[in-house]
A and B are shown apart, each in its own frame.
Chain A
Amino acid sequence: MSENWLLKVQDLSVHFHSPRGVVHAVDNVSFEIKPGETLALVGETGCGKSVTARSILRLVPEPPGEYASGKILLSQDQDQSIEILSAPIKAVRAIRGERISMIFQDPGKALNPALTIGRQLAEVFGEHRMDMILENAGIEPDKASRADKMIAQQRASFLQIRLFSLLRSKKGKALQKSIDDAVARALADTGIPNPRKIMKSYPHELSGGMKQRVMIAQALACDPDLLIADEPTTALDVTIQARILELIQEMQKRRGMAVLYITHDLSLVREFADRVAVMYAGRIVETGPAVDVLASPQHPYTQGLLGAIPHRRTPRGQLAAIPGSVPQLVSPPAQCHFASRCKWAAEACKSVVPLLNSTETSRKVACLRFDTAEKLSVDIGDMPARAEMGEVAAE
C-alpha cells in the first residue's frame, strides 16, 4: 500500500449539463480514505455527496454528467495505484463489487423487482468469483466450457440452463448448487435468518430492513476494501436504523474494510466515524478527526450544523437552524459559497474562493478566517477573532 492510503480523491469536479446551465455538483473535492477507517461525508441535501460517492465507482451518467477535472486513485499491490476516472472500463468493472462496493439509500429501489434475491447475489459471484463457483462444482477453471461459464455467470437463459442440465444433468446441478451455496453463505454471513428461503424471494416479499441486509450481503460478497454507504438508513424505520448501522460496523470490524459513510445526520457521525468531511454546495469545507470536529467545529457552516444537532426535543437530523438556503450550483460565482448565510461574512469572502488549509495537524478548514491574510492579499479587517467564533459555537 502506498503511503498508507486506500483511496485518494484529488481535485474532483463533476458537472451536469442542464438546460439551465452547467451545474457544478462537485467542485474541487479532495480527500483520502485509509485502509479500515470510516470517513463520514456530511452535508445538506443537494450538496453533492451522492455524486461524489458515485464518481468513485465512475457511475455518474455521462451525459448529462461530466468529470470536469480531478483524479480518483485506488491503491493496489506494490505501491501501485489505479486511476479510476481514466482507467479502461473493464478495469473499473473489475473494481466494482470486488474492491469497492456501494449500498444505496433506498434498498427498495436498489434491488431489481423482477429478479429473485438469489439471482441478484449470484450475479456478483458470477462476475468476480467464477473460478470459485467452478471449483466448488468440481470443474477445473481452465477446463471449463463456455456453457459452464455462462451458467456460472448467470448469462445463460432459463431455457439454456434447462437444456444444459437435461443433457448433462450432473454438471448442471453441481454448478447450480455451487452458486446457491455461495449465495446462502453470503446471506448467512450478514446474519440473515433462513437464507435458503430468502434466496427464492422477490424483493417485494421482504421488509425494508431485510432488503437493506440483502444489499449489505451483496455488497460484502466479495470482501471489498471499501464500502460506500450512501445514507443507508434514511429510508428505513427508526427502530431498524440502529441495527443496520451496527451490522455495518460489525462487518467492518470483522473484515477490516474501510467505509465511506454518507449522511446528513451529524449525530450518527459521532458514534460511527473516525474522520469526517463536511460538504457544502459541492465543496468540502472542513475535514478532521470526527471527535475533534464535533467537539470544536471551525468552519461556520459546521458550527451551524452542530448548532442544529438535535438535543432532547428537536427532531433528528434537521439543519433548519442555519438561516438562508443553499446557493444554486449553476455557474457559481468565485466566492465562499457560504457567504450568504454566514454570520462572519466580510467583503473579502465575496471575492475569493477559500481553499482547504491545515489549521492543526490532521484538520483542514476552507474559511478565510483560517487563511493567513498575507497569503490572500485581501482585507479581512473586521472579522471576529478565531477564539470568538469558537465561543459562539460552544454556546
Chain B
Amino acid sequence: MQVRDYLLRRLALLPFIMLGVSVIVFTLTRFTGSPVGIYATPNMTAEEISALEARYLLDQPIPLQYAAWIGGLFRGDLGWSGVSVAPVTDVIGLKFAATFELALAAGFIAVFAGIALGTLAGVRRNRLPDHGARLFSIFGASTPTFWFGLLLLVPFYLWLDWFPLGRSTPEIFSSIAHPTGMYTLDAVLALNAGAFLDAVRHLVLPAVVLAFGAMAIIVRMMRSSMVEAMSEEYVDAARAKGLPNKVVIRRHARRNALLPTTTVIGLSFGFLLQGAVAVELIFRWPGLGQWVTSAVLSGDQATIMAYVLITALIFMTVNLAVDIAYAYLDRRVVLGG
C-alpha cells in the first residue's frame, strides 16, 4: 500500500474518532454536575439562575445539550470560558500556541540530545559515556517534573536570576506584533533580536525541565537499539568496505537504531503534554495546562471539554507523524497492510 493512500485513509478516519471523543467527553463532564455555577454570581435569585439555565439549555436532556454544543463547535463556538472571561474559541488559540511552543522546544531538546546521548552510550557500551547516560536516564525517569522544576528554579531563578518566570517581559511583549502566538517565532518575524532573546530566556528553563523525562526515555531506547544495531552483521560489512567509523556508526548503525526509537518518541510526546501541566504551573507559563488546571478547580466545563478535544487531536496528529517517519526510515514497512 502506498504511503499516500494510507495517509488519506487515516485522515478520513480522523473526524469519526473526534466525534466519538466528543460524545464521551461531553457526557462524562456533564455527569460531574451542572456547569451553571461558573456563569452565576453569588447574589443571583433562584429565578435568575433558572433563566440562566434555560439560556444555556441546561434544563434540557443531555443529548440535546450535546447537539447544541457540537452544533456550536461547527460554527466556531465552544461556549464561554469562565476562567478566561472570554469565549473559548477566542482564547484557545493563544493557549495552544503557548503550549505548542513549549512542547516543541522541549521536544527538540529531548529528541536531539536524547538521540545523541543514546548513540554515544550505545557505541561506547560499558564505558564512561554509557554509565553517565544510564545515570542520567534513571534520574530523568524517576524524577517528578514539578520537583525537578523547583530544583532548577532555586539556583537559576532565585540565586542567579538568569532566567525569569512567565513568558515574556511586558514592555517587550507589547513592542512587537504576535501573529503566531509563539513568541520566539513572532520575534523572528518582527526581526527583533531583543524580543527573540527575551522569549528564549523565558523558554529555556521550562523547556529543559519538560524535556528531561522524555529525554530519559529516548536515551534508554536509543542506547539499547544502538547496542543491538552495532552487533549486526551489516555494520561489520560496512567496516569491511573500508568506510570510516563515523560513517559506519551514522549511516549504518544509527539509521537502523532510529526505527524503534521513533515509536518511543511518539509516545514520549504524550509525556510532554502531561508534564506541561506541572511545568506551566511552576513557571507561570500561560498555556493549555495552566488553563485547564484553573478550569478544573472552578468547574469550568466548556474549557475542560475544549482542552480534551484539542489534546485528542494533538495525540492523533503526532501518531500519524510517527507512522510516516517510520515508513520513511524502514522501507520494509507496509502501512496498514
Contacts and interface: CB of A to CB of B under 8 A. Distances in A.
Interface of A: 54, 57, 59, 93-98, 101-102, 104, 106, 109-115, 123-124, 127-128, 155, 202, 204, 215, 218
A110 to B, nearest CB: 4
B242 interface: yes
Contacts of B1: none
A57 B241 CA distance: 10
Contact of A109 (B234, B240, B243, B332): B234
A95 B243 CA distance: 11
Main SS of the interface on chain A? mixed
Contacts of A104: 233, 236-237
Interface of B: 232-234, 236-244, 247, 251-252, 255-256, 329-332
Given A95-B242, A98-B242, A114-B255, 18 more contacts: A59-B236, A96-B239, A96-B241, A101-B241, A102-B237, A104-B233, A104-B236, A109-B234, A110-B233, A111-B237, A112-B252, A113-B331, A114-B256, A123-B247, A127-B241, A127-B243, A128-B242, A204-B332
Contact of A110 (B234, B244, B251, B256): B234
Contacts of A96: 239-242
Contacts of B239: 57, 59, 96
Given A109-B233, A109-B234, A112-B252, A97 B332 contact: no
Nearest to A64: B126
Nearest to B239: A59
Contacts of B332: 113, 202, 204
A179 B237 CA distance: 20
Contacts of B237: 102, 104, 110-112, 215
A115 B239 CA distance: 15
A318 to B, nearest CB: 25
Contacts of B256: 112-114
B68 to A, nearest CB: 50
Contact of B240 (A102, A128, A202): A102
Contacts of B251: 115
18 contacts: A57-B240, A59-B239, A59-B240, A93-B244, A101-B240, A102-B237, A104-B237, A106-B233, A109-B234, A110-B234, A112-B234, A112-B252, A112-B256, A113-B332, A114-B329, A123-B247, A155-B247, A202-B331
A97 B240 CA distance: 6
A-B pairs, top 4 by smallest CB distance, nearest first, are: A96-B242, A97-B242, A97-B241, A109-B233
A343 to B, nearest CB: 38
Contacts of A109: 232-234
B241 A218 contact: yes
Contact of A114 (B242, B243, B331): B331
A127 B232 CA distance: 21
Contacts of B241: 96-97, 101, 123-124, 127, 218
